[in-house]
Structure 1
Amino acid sequence: MPTQNQAPATEAEWWIRTAEGALFAKSWTPDAAGAAPIILFHDSLGSVDLWRSFPQRLAAETNRRVIAYDRLGFGRSDAHPGRLALDFVAAEARDGIPPLCDQLGVSEFIACGHSVGGGMAVETAARFPERCRALVTIAAQAFVEERTLAGIRDAKGDFQDPANVARLARYHGDKARWVLDAWTETWLSPAFADWTLDRALAAVRCPVLALHGDRDEYGSSAHPERIAAGRGAARLLPDTGHVPHREQETLVVDAIRNFLNGV
């Protein structure tokens, strides 16, 4: 939540029309918001609501509009018409971001993503180098690592418990099983084994901050190091796992605010 001296940002909800269906979006706008807004990209099981207090606080402390949206198939957005394509990370920058920006009146922006959403933020920065003013990744993967696959296998086992699927359904409704399978079956597919962000990273032209927990169960420090190499700073957060913005919200917000103050 905003600190004592900061007024809460004004919230608004939006429906974004795309060729495949409607996307649910939400924005948080401080009274005196300035500079480029921040677009948030959620993780493989994420949604607008699962960002919890982070967008509101990020908006208030950076004095920027913050926009989060549910990707097609997630949260309150329309159901996905089929399976995720193997290029789904790059496809989000191609298919999701243009209608979002057009319909919300966004010209320049900061791309900020968590986990696979960090990869989507990288792809967006690469695809729109003249519009993306800065890039922030939080616990992002840059390639397929055995630690990532092991974590997904463990999670897949945990989701054999119907109670865990039911908890996921609180955020995704009857799309919960699709959301889960889209994550586990895509990443564990042999056809996805050679995926990397290398080509997109080579096209990034803006300043980069790559945040990563030192106890991240889904990826080693090799990921932020590769993302930031020659482009910005990689920062390991102490005593932190795969969801830094919930585990260490103050630390993450402070790091992003200080980074953006220098952009």
Structure 2
Amino acid sequence: MQNPATATLASEFAELPATASHGPLRIEYRWVNEAAANAPIAVFLHEGLGSIAMWRDWPQALCERLGMRGLVYSRPGYGLSTPRAHDVKWPVDFMTSQARDILPALLDALDIGAQERKRMWVIGHSDGGSIALLYAAQHPDELAGAIAIAPHVFVEDISVESIAQTKQLYETTDLRSKLARYHADVDSAFYGWNDIWLNPAFREWRIVDELAAIRQPLLAVQGHDDNYGTMAQIDTIGERVPHAQLVKLDACGHSPHRDAPDALNDAIAAFVAKQR
């Protein structure tokens, strides 16, 4: 069976120049549903241990249903993108940097201009959901809408406890070998995510105040059985963004696109249809 982390034929790479916030980066990306060449773009932002390969076929299926073209990419440190040097720790505001610096630079590198960005949707899961919220807050006039799936807007005990348990599994079971199928440098991906979430300084991280700047249509989705966050996350989004629509899914954990794909896709399709 082919290793997804080394299956490069379907992926392309964008070179991002060095800036004050990061060195030169090579970003793995892929277009899905390319037949919809003139349709709005949906940008998919993966979870804290995710990559292009870990999305599997969900972005393609969703884009076909929405009639959109999808851009899927692996953030630095993940998949086949530039790995994190093992002595580098992500800063507490690493998600803000992804929304402020990395995603705009990738859009520039792919010649996605202002008019296309105004029609663009960002769809993020977990850490990627938080990045989607931050991008929407930072670019209130350059986006058609945002969808945040199991996002984090502050740190809860349940998140830290589950992430600590995941570290134990990574170091004592076959979890590392399983994740290695999706990342060229699996330790770069795992410890970049795990170390910052378990850093005591990260307990003070929150993006609640930033949410009020979001003006675009916003859908926030959470599963009732999520072991990485409670309904307080999207309830807080609803309080700070009154126009946001909240969807709470039964029999669903932290990954609705895997746990309850039909219910998730129905909710997203209905929400997007209302904005057109």
TM-score (norm 1): 0.91
Matched, 1:132 2:138: no
Show structure 1 runs of 5+ residues with no match. 1-10
Is 1:41 the counterpart of 2:45? The answer is: yes
Write the distance in 2 (CA, Å) between the matches of 1:235 and 1:144. 21
The range that moved more, 236-245 or 200-209, is 200-209
Instruction: Tell me the distance in 2 between the aligned counterparts of 1:133 and 1:35.
Output: 12
TM-superposed deviation, 1:180: 1.4
Q: Distance in 2 between matches of 1:36 and 1:226?
A: 29
* Correspondence 1:72 to 2:76: yes
1:153-168 alignment to 2 at 5 Å? 153-168=164-179
Are residues 1:101 and 2:74 paired?
Answer: no
Q: Percent identity?
A: 32
Correspondence list, 1:183-262, <5 A: 183-229=193-239, 230-262=242-274
Cα displacement string for residues 122-177 of structure 1 (whole angstroms, at most 9, x for unaligned residues): 1111111111111101111110001111111111111122521111111112x211
Deviations 1:188-211 (A, max 9, x none): 111111111113212111111101
Displacement of 1:57 in angstroms is 0.3
For the 8 Å contact 1:30–1:63, the answer to whether it is kept is no
Compute the RMSD of aligned alpha carbons: 1.6
Q: Secondary structure at the match of 1:72?
A: coil
Shift, 1:23, TM fit: 0.3
C-alpha displacement of 1:39: 0.6
Instruction: Give me the whole-angstrom Cα distance separating, in 2, the residues matched to 1:29 and 1:132.
Output: 20
Q: 1:86: which partner in 2?
A: 92
1:33 Cα offset (Å): 5.2
How far off its partner does 1:111 sit? 1.1
In structure 2, how many angstroms separate the alpha carbons of the residues matched to 1:32 and 1:113? 21
Structure 2 SS opposite 1:67: strand
**Residue identity matched to 1:218:** Y
Partner residue in 1 for 2:21: none
Return the match for 1:116 from 127, 141, 148: 127
- Answer whether contact 2:47 2:126 (CA < 8 A) is retained: yes
Distance 1:105 1:212 in 2: 33
- 1:176 and 2:174 are equivalent in the alignment: no
Deviations 1:48-82 (A, max 9, x none): 11011111101100000111100011001111242
Check whether the contact 1:208–1:228 (CA below 8 A) recurs between aligned residues.
no
Pairs aligned (count) = 252
Report if the CA contact (8 A) 2:34-2:70 is conserved: no
The answer to whether the 8 Å contact 2:247/2:267 transfers is no
Q: Residues of 2 paired with 1:158 and 1:61: CA distance?
A: 36
Greater mean alpha carbon deviation, residues 136-145 or residues 27-36: 27-36
Offset, 1:227? 1.9
